[in-house]
Structure 1
Amino acid sequence: MIILLLIFLILAYGATPGYSQGNELPQIEHIIAIGDSLTAGVQNAALRQGVEGGEIESLVGLFQNSGYAYLIAKQINPTNPDKVLPLPLIERPGIPNAIIGYNISPGEGEDIIRLEPGESHGRVNPSVQPFNLAIPGATLNDALTKLPSHSQLEQLILGQPSGRARSQVQLALDLFTEQGLDPRKTLIIVWLGNNDTLHAILDGDLTELTPPSAFMRDYLRVIGFLRQTGAHMVVATLPDTTIMPYLLDPVEVAIICQMAGKYNFSNTTDFMNFLEALDLNRSDKVSAMALPFILGQKPLEPLPPNLVFTPQEILTIRKAIKTFNLIIKLTAISYDIPMVDVYYATNKAHEEGREIVIDGQRFMLTTGLCGGLFSLDVVHPSNTGHALLAQQFIGVINNTIGQGREIINPIDDDDELKNIVKKDPLGPVVKGCAALLTTDP
């Protein structure tokens, strides 16, 4: 039924002809990025400009400047990536304030989550028109229809410097005339749909999953509008949000509790009693937001239902993700749009890990807690995670739009990737993640 409906909607929305690559090798000079927090470059729960140096910076990374889309821009124009993809740079400590660590054994009145102090005053570069239009928290429908409103980030990204209220898609369309962009030299990155499942996980409410029919309608409209520009385009599938370290196995919860000195597990019975007190089954998944609840109480009480996911609920979320990805894939195939299979890549990393050798030492990158691929918010990628995403995008772009030739310089494993991993404050070499998970009072 979904396939038949998709064919019908393609016929309805897809009358506009797409671009023809021809035999001439394309030259990409500009990128327009449409998406959510993953494309915006959020790390450690904050959208924030990267600043070289400083104690906090050495711990938590480069943020917007490390995002996969900006890394692609760097590979296109190493000396001036801001010309390729201008960013709406947000002043430190970010919006919201960036996470700089955790204290899993806080004292009286202290918070478990440590935030970078201060208050951001907004855009560092308010007069610059950004080409990265991605809005943290945006759903597919938001990108299509939502205008800047009460949200500070929406105003800072979509509202400056023009002051006009436009959605991501509308602003992307207008940039071609307002900025005089040549569609033959412009690449539009479209990675939308992550929050159409993620909101259900973060809020613990599966009714927030976007209905497949609505997702299909909106995705076809987004692609249909953007194809009218005649620009090059690349889309991406959605990762399985149930494998991110935000969702903890009960064993991981028990380990953190033991590290915090809150509970002592000397045998299997202790662990089973722990599960019973929290009203957990061994096969459940626990939201990371449950940790303050668990660590802050003794004796234990059952967790609120919105912080626990049963195996059936996990299956429901995964079914929605697979359905959305089917829509993305069929749309890409129908319109001959290059597609990055992030779902496949992240699942492979989850199941097998990613081994990397640096200075003769072998390190295994994983999707687990402090596994090197996620930042401190356990939802968004680390510098290393973004670099691997950029590798995937560049590979697909070169093989399709570039017709097998390197129109974008690859991020090679032997030099550039290893350098990023080596310097990543949350990676396996620096081991910053483990250092920031403390039990200091």
Structure 2
Amino acid sequence: MADLFDQIGEAAEPSGPRPLADRLRPRKLAEVIGQEKVLSPEGPLGAMLSAGSLSSLILWGPPGVGKTTIARLLADETDLTFVQISAIFTGVPELRKVFEAARLRHRNGQGTLLFVDEIHRFNKAQQDGFLPHMEDGTILLVGATTENPSFELNAALLSRSQVIVLERLSLVDLERLAQRAERELGQALPLKGPAREALLEMADGDGRALLNLIEQVAAWKVTAPLETDALAQRLMRRAANYDKSGDGHYNLISALHKSVRGSDPDAALYWFSRMLEGGEDPRFLGRRLVRMAVEDIGLADPQAQTVCLHAWETFERLGSPEGELALAQAVIYLALAPKSNAGYVAYKGARATARQTGSEPPPKHILNAPTRLMKEQGYGAGYAYDHDAEDGFSGQNYFPETMKRPVFYHPPERGFERELKKRVEYFARLREQRQGRAES
């Protein structure tokens, strides 16, 4: 039975010159640029190949870092038949044909490396369909994804696979790739040094994108090497890889939040700008800035929350791009504000204690007694009106009578909470004095 995808592979190749990216595709793993951490003898893939025990894999990384190439070369290294499908274009009927063809090969002593591009596009039920064929050795699965496998792939599939993280190409890696392209083309790129660096940056860590850009540049008819401005006029900068609803979104907001928490305004502005350049909704950033003010600054600078709310309101009134400056200034203010999570910790502690104590009633002396029955039951008896007490503070107990008094709020010696700490200690001393008098 012929494999549907083998038939596709045997179709006549299109006429005309092959794209540069295809011509430079590595023919062995040693030629792959930028993934030495996983392919070296000490790396996870290198160690597997050395031991002759290649297992099913999930290759996780951004576009253009060699996922497809590595999968194809792994098949060559292990003498497996390479079959490639895409989760975007493959349905259940096609999958059945692929599994049946692999089963026939398996019976004849030939293994199959099934490469599934965009594997995260398969739903959970479809992912389960791979499991029996992986377990009986019909296929060795190599899935490729740009999304976090922890969120996109089911636990059963992950437990039978090893996740290999591939990194975006560095500028050094991209320069090596550019030099390889120049040797293939038989000519140097007509770019001056800064323009060449700008070209590498335009690729944004994507090797395939760089080769496509190089192919365009090499086709230009120029009489002298181009400067950066001339290059920018001829080429559009590649959009940053940023999925507003996926892993990149959460990674960058985490980077922004932790930069603010770490009191680094420059790093905070950088990640804030990265998100805006990626097309993030500034309203989302406004909400998160308020969250940072409440969680990480709190009462150390009560003004921080007001600054964020005003910045958010300013954006709503001015719109983009003018209103984004107000949000950027809020980022700077938060990063430089004194930090405290004492209020956040106190709140979490109070919630935890409230869950533990359940339905404990308030002490009767602080309950209102609007009826005679309630007065007879002792409601409101012995309540001391704080405004009539010395220093305006009675020092009464406001916790349930069966509960030992806890302390949730521990203000640090930072910012405005330095003043609040004095107040906490002042009232604690008065409370001890009042209770001592009551007991004597």
Larger CA Rg, structure 1 vs 2: 2
**Greater fraction helix:** 2
Report the TM-score, using the length of structure 2 for normalisation.
0.26
Return the structure number with greater relative CO, CA threshold 8 A, min gap 6. 1
**Greater fraction strand:** 1
Report the TM-score, using the length of structure 1 for normalisation.
0.26
